Amino acid sequence: MVGKSGAARHSTQVTVAATAPPSNQEASPAMSFHHALSLLRRRKASSAIIILEIAISCAILCNAAYIIGLRLERASIPSGVAEREVVRIQPVDLKEMENPDQITRADIAALRAIPGVRSASLTSFVPFGQADDAVPLRRTPDQQAPTLQATAFIGDTGIAETLGLRLIAGRLFDESDTVDWPQHQETKPSPGVALLTRSVAEQMFPEGDAVGRIFYIWSSDPVRVVGVVEHLKRGYVEGNPALYENSVLLPIRTSYSRIFGNYVLRADPGLRTEILDSAARALMSINGNRAFFSIDTFEDIRDEYFRKDLAMAWLLTSICSALLAMTAFGIVGIVSFWVQQRFREIGILRSLGAARTDIMKMFLLESFLLTTIGIAVGMLLAYAINIRLMDYYEIARMPIHILPLGATILWLLGVTAALYPATRAAMIPPATATRLA
């Protein structure tokens, strides 16, 4: 009986010694990794669960981060407008007016007279205004296919100054450039001059300076480029980003009812709310038989246009946060379970001289290896998902730098999540081995 008991104790010591990490004097990175891998192979089911969870998290995180970046980048594109200074009010007639041209002139005069208003103009569209009208631009009058399609911003002489556009070449409109489009005239007049965005100027005249060049719009009458502005987004910015700034400004004076126009005012940022209220009262005092389709600041216009993009970004951020939290809890649970399973072994290792840091390193290394394997599988899965998204949606291939970003987040998560159970394991006193032996 005594011999058998002694043999059993000897067998236990041999088994534990075989699983123990090398002493500090003999330890090497290769042996440590080999020891951790051998322990993971003995726990295939639980290891596979965590690897799968990390792989799925990595794949979703990388693609979600890419889509979030696209949405936020799209929502922050420059409009070209002095956004903190511009407000918009869009009236709608409740019944047909007898003299819309005269009322429009009275409206503009009343709006310009409001204290705090620097300038006021009428325009057919505003960037991100969810209204658009593309016209063909041609380099020759007999050209069959247009060089490009662009949004025609019809406005009065001061439209560029009111919107706060940045001139990069040539000049802005003056009063002699403006042509009238009275209510009784059906066909659009042909303006003699125009302002182009940088994008349109480069597409129309790739060989050089666009100022002074001639092009054609809806008739055979030539239109001369007098200036180029840096940015002016279209009413809709969808599809190809290269077309977002296909815009041209035409100095045509007409009534707001003909073009369903927008009165735009430029004012001090702190006075915008008061000025909108004053503008609505001023317009109603001139003609009470109308309502207002829109009364908003340009920041409101931007927020409304990109509301779905920002909502998608927040939704994906919430999903990623929840997924990372679930992954972290999964790692904590699995490592805690392993600690419970190896409680006796840990105590004996401590009694044999293993330091607390050695125990912590053992569990952190196992977590790191699990996370690394999961990330490797997740990267392959991430690209597979991205390819499917490219097939069904108009998005580009995910840039390679997204993968290291996702891997870094998951590595930090894996090590951090394992810290609590690893610390608990390291706190097991050596006396535990004596009680359990």
* The token pair that represents 261 in the structure block: 């126009």
DSSP 51: H
Bridge partners of 224, per DSSP, are 193, 214
Instruction: Tell me what pLDDT residue 89 has.
Output: 96
Structural element, H or E, at residue 205 = none
**Coil, strand or helix: which one is 114?**
coil
Residue 94 in this model has a pLDDT that exceeds 80: no
- At residue 183, the pLDDT reads 83
Give tens-digit pLDDT for 105-123. 999 999 999 999 999 999 9
> What's the one-letter identity of residue 436?
L
pLDDT of 21 over the 70 cut: no
pLDDT at residue 389 in the model? 84
**b/e code 347-384 from CB counts within 10 Å (16+ = b):** bbbbbeebeeebbbbbbbbbbbbbbbbbbebbbebbbe
Strands (E) across 156-305 are located at: 167-170, 179-180, 193-197, 214-215, 223-229, 247-253, 262-267, 290-297
pLDDT tens digits, residue range 157-178? 999 999 999 999 999 999 999 9
pTM of structure = 0.77
pLDDT for the residue 434? 46
Mean pLDDT of the chain: 85
Alpha-carbon span 229 to 199, nearest angstrom: 9
- 3-state SS assignment for residue 39: helix
Q: Which residues contact 86 (CB under 8 A, 6 or more apart)?
A: 162, 163, 164, 264, 265, 266, 297, 298
Cα–Cα distance, 46 to 338 (Å, whole number): 9
Distance, in Å, from the CA atom of 44 to the CA atom of 1, rounded to the nearest integer, reads: 37
Is 29 a residue whose pLDDT tops 50?
Answer: no
Do residues 256 and 245 lie in contact, with contact meaning Cβ atoms separated by under 8 Å?
A: no
Q: Is the pLDDT of residue 20 over 60?
A: no
| Number of C-beta neighbours around residue 307 at 10 A | 11
Q: Which of 386, 51, 67, 114 is nearest to 266 (CA)?
A: 114
The confidence score (pLDDT) of residue 371 equals 87
- Cβ(248)–Cβ(234) under 8 Å? no
What's the pLDDT score for residue 202?
A: 96
Calculate mean pLDDT across residues 423-434: 67
Residue 136 host element (H or E) = strand 134-137
Neighbours of 24 (CB within 10 A): 11
Select from 312, 309, 418, 423 the least CA-distant residue to 372: 418
Task: Specify the DSSP element, H or E, that contains 90.
Answer: strand 86-93
Judged by average pLDDT, the poorest of 39-48, 91-100, 198-207 is 39-48
Q: Which of 152, 165, 229 is nearest to 191 (CA)?
A: 152
Residues 342-369 have a mean pLDDT of 76
Look at 20-29, 117-126, 378-387 and tell me which has the smallest mean pLDDT: 20-29
> Are 229 and 197 within 8 A, CB to CB?
yes
CA distance 343 to 273: 68
Q: For 51-90, how does the pLDDT look when each residue is reduced to its tens digit (9 = 90+)?
A: 899 999 999 999 999 999 999 999 999 999 999 999 999 9
Encoded tokens for 147 = 């060089």
| H or E element, residue 188 | none
Q: pLDDT digit string (tens) for 262-316? A: 999 999 999 999 999 999 999 999 998 889 999 999 999 999 999 999 999 999 9
pLDDT tens-digit map of 369-382: 888 889 999 999 99
Query: Cβ distance 283 to 315 under 8 Å?
Result: no
pLDDT, one tens digit per residue, over 251-270 is 999 998 888 889 999 999 99
Q: How far apart are CA 230 and CA 2, in angstroms?
A: 94
Sorted by where each begins, the domain ranges of the chain are: 30-75+307-434, 130-253
Between strands 247-253 and 148-155, the pairing is parallel
- Does the pLDDT value for residue 31 go beyond 60? no
Residue 311, sorted as left (phi over 0), alpha (psi -120 to 50) or beta, turns out to be alpha
Q: Are 224 and 193 in contact (CB under 8 A)?
A: yes
Q: How far apart are alpha carbons 293 and 16 in whole angstroms?
A: 80
Question: Can you give the pLDDT at residue 19?
Answer: 44
